[in-house]
């Protein structure tokens, strides 16, 4: 739970939240608003609601879900590797990290196996 007082005006709550919560995308901020997890002055917020300096905002953040990313032996071209870095020639179309709909076969999965 995060609570603070707005220091500036903003025309839209979703954009304001995204600026105040750098770990959240604007889409994630819209989702929080739509789920009723954002209150402005104690009342549910709308994504197009204007924010005024002095408004009290309260955001109920979900706990991050743990990721169980498993190493996968996927062929990949490692251009250079030393103890600190690896330069990878990522295949076109390969998803970089696990996300909804792409939990396996990602660059992260193969790097966990190869590096």
Which of the four CATH numbers 3.10.290.10, 3.10.180.10, 1.10.3720.10, 3.30.1490.20 does domain 2-59 have?
A: 3.10.290.10
Look at residue 67 in the predicted model and tell me its pLDDT: 74
* Per-residue pLDDT, 24: 86
Q: DSSP labels for the chain?
A: -EEEE--S-BS-HHHHHHHH-TTS-HHHHHHHHHTT-EEETTEEPPTT--B-TT-EEEE-PPPPPPP-PPP-----EEEEE-SS-EEEEPPTT--SS-BTTB-SS-HHHHHHHH-
What are the pLDDT digits (tens) for 7-65? Answer: 999 999 999 999 999 888 889 899 999 999 999 999 999 888 999 999 999 999 877 77
Tens of pLDDT, residues 84-103: 999 999 999 999 998 878 88
Domain with CATH 3.10.290.10 in the chain: 2-59
């Amino acid at each position: 739970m995060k609570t603070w007082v707005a220091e500036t005006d903003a025309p839209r709550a979703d954009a304001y939240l995204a600026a105040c919560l750098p770990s959240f995308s604007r889409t994630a901020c819209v989702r929080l608003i739509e789920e009723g997890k954002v209150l402005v002055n104690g009342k549910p917020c709308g994504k197009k609601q204007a924010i005024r300096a002095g408004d009290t905002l309260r955001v109920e953040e979900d706990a991050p879900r743990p990721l169980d990313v498993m190493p996968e032996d996927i062929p990949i071209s490692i251009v250079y590797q030393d103890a600190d870095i690896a330069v990878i020639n990522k295949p076109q179309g390969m998803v970089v990290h696990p996300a909804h709909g792409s939990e396996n076969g990602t660059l992260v999965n193969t790097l966990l196996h190869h590096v």
